[in-house]
Amino acid sequence: MPSVPPVPPVPPARPVAPVPPVSSAPSSAPSSAPSAAAVVSALRAAGCVFAEDEAELILATARTAGELSSMVDRRAAGFPLEHVLGWAEFHGRRIAVEPGVFVPRRRTEFLVDQALAAARDAAVVVDLCCGSGALAAALAAALDGVEVHAADIDPAAVRCARRNLAPFGGRAHQGDLYDALPAALRGRVGVLTANVPYVPTAEVPLLPAEAREHEPLVALDGGADGLDVLRRVAAGAPDWLAPGGCLLSETGEHQAPAAVRAFTDAGLTTRLAVSDERYAHVVVGVPP
């Protein structure tokens, strides 16, 4: 398989939810708590591009002076903002994100929107390579009464997904792709999402340090051309999709033609959805 051009680096995390003003930080915090100006200064000195916005988020989240100092120190040390806060904003919801778990990207909201447009009547949703379970939770929130399952090979991710899916009665399973799913789901899945790792192995060292050092490699490295996991997902999808169901997977711009071929080779009728605004590319496949 020919090599593909580098996947664009993941941009710095930008705060996404409206937040209270800095003055709304817990009034009960001891006077020894760092001031808003000191927090901004520490974050700016550490190279945080959106220091003021991040300071507001941290000040609004910290419950004690000690917690505030710890959060500032961790962010200044390079931990992802979402890991410091304990949550990420995704498709209008706060998704719990534990340390060491892949942080859902805002561009992946486009995949959720495509899934909702394609299968509003789906009764069963499955999210493979689920990470925190952000996609499954977003779909569960939008599809009333849907049966939701998520799966990941990483136990930390599964633990996190269970927390995020609990309000919807969803289930998270640990295992390798379809091997993790209950056999009873075969042929019943209306929406199958898979935000697979798609960074080519040689490009992983070029990722921002936040991703490279604090997110699991298994959630980033997609093999030599970045499509190893996507091909496996596509190949297995026809056995699990219900009539009229659809498979959706995110991919990089330069990998998109090969990703479309992988879906087509699996026997799926395939299209590519693109959002220039979010710089997102989603391959959508349905059984013929």
pLDDT tens column, 204-235: 999 999 999 999 999 999 999 999 999 999 99
Q: Is there a contact between 247 and 237 (Cβ–Cβ < 8 Å)?
A: yes
pLDDT at 2 over 50: no
Whole-number pLDDT of residue 32: 67
pLDDT at 5 over 90: no
Report d(CA 267, CA 76) in Å as an integer: 48
Whole-number pLDDT of residue 6: 41
Report d(CA 143, CA 16) in Å as an integer: 23
Report d(CA 123, CA 50) in Å as an integer: 41
Strand ranges inside the chain, DSSP E: 87-90, 93-96, 124-128, 147-152, 171-174, 189-194, 241-251, 269-275, 280-286
Contacts of 124 (CB under 8 A, 6+ apart): 146, 147, 148, 149, 185, 188, 189, 190, 191, 242
Single-letter code of the amino acid located at 253: E
Q: Is there a contact between 91 and 100 (Cβ–Cβ < 8 Å)?
A: no
Give percent of the chain above pLDDT 70: 89
The average pLDDT across 125-154 equals 97
Contacts of 278 (CB under 8 A, 6+ apart): 106, 107, 109, 110
Strands across the sheet with 280-286, in order? 171-174, 147-152, 124-128, 189-194, 241-251, 280-286, 269-275
Q: What residues form DSSP beta bridges with 199?
A: 221
Report d(CA 281, CA 239) in Å as an integer: 24
pLDDT tens column, 62-111: 999 999 999 999 999 999 999 999 999 999 999 999 999 999 999 999 99
If pLDDT is split at 50, 70 and 90, which confidence band does 18 have?
very low
From 20-24, 107-111, 193-197, 261-265, the region with the lowest mean pLDDT: 20-24
pLDDT tens column, 32-47: 678 899 999 999 999 9
Q: Is there a contact between 100 and 214 (Cβ–Cβ < 8 Å)?
A: yes
Q: Is there a contact between 273 and 247 (Cβ–Cβ < 8 Å)?
A: no
- Which tokens sit at 114? 């495509």
Whole-number pLDDT of residue 19: 33
For the chain, the average pLDDT equals: 89
The average pLDDT across 241-265 equals 97
The average pLDDT across 269-286 equals 97
Report d(CA 193, CA 247) in Å as an integer: 6
DSSP 102-139: PPPPGGGHHHHHHHHHH-TT-SEEEEES-TTTHHHHHH
pTM of the model: 0.85
Whole-number pLDDT of residue 121: 87
CB atoms within 10 A of CB 117: 11
State which H helix or E strand residue 214 sits in.
helix 209-214
CA dihedral 167, 140, 137, 116 (to 10 degrees): -170
Cα angle vertex 105, ends 141, 130, to 5°?
A: 60
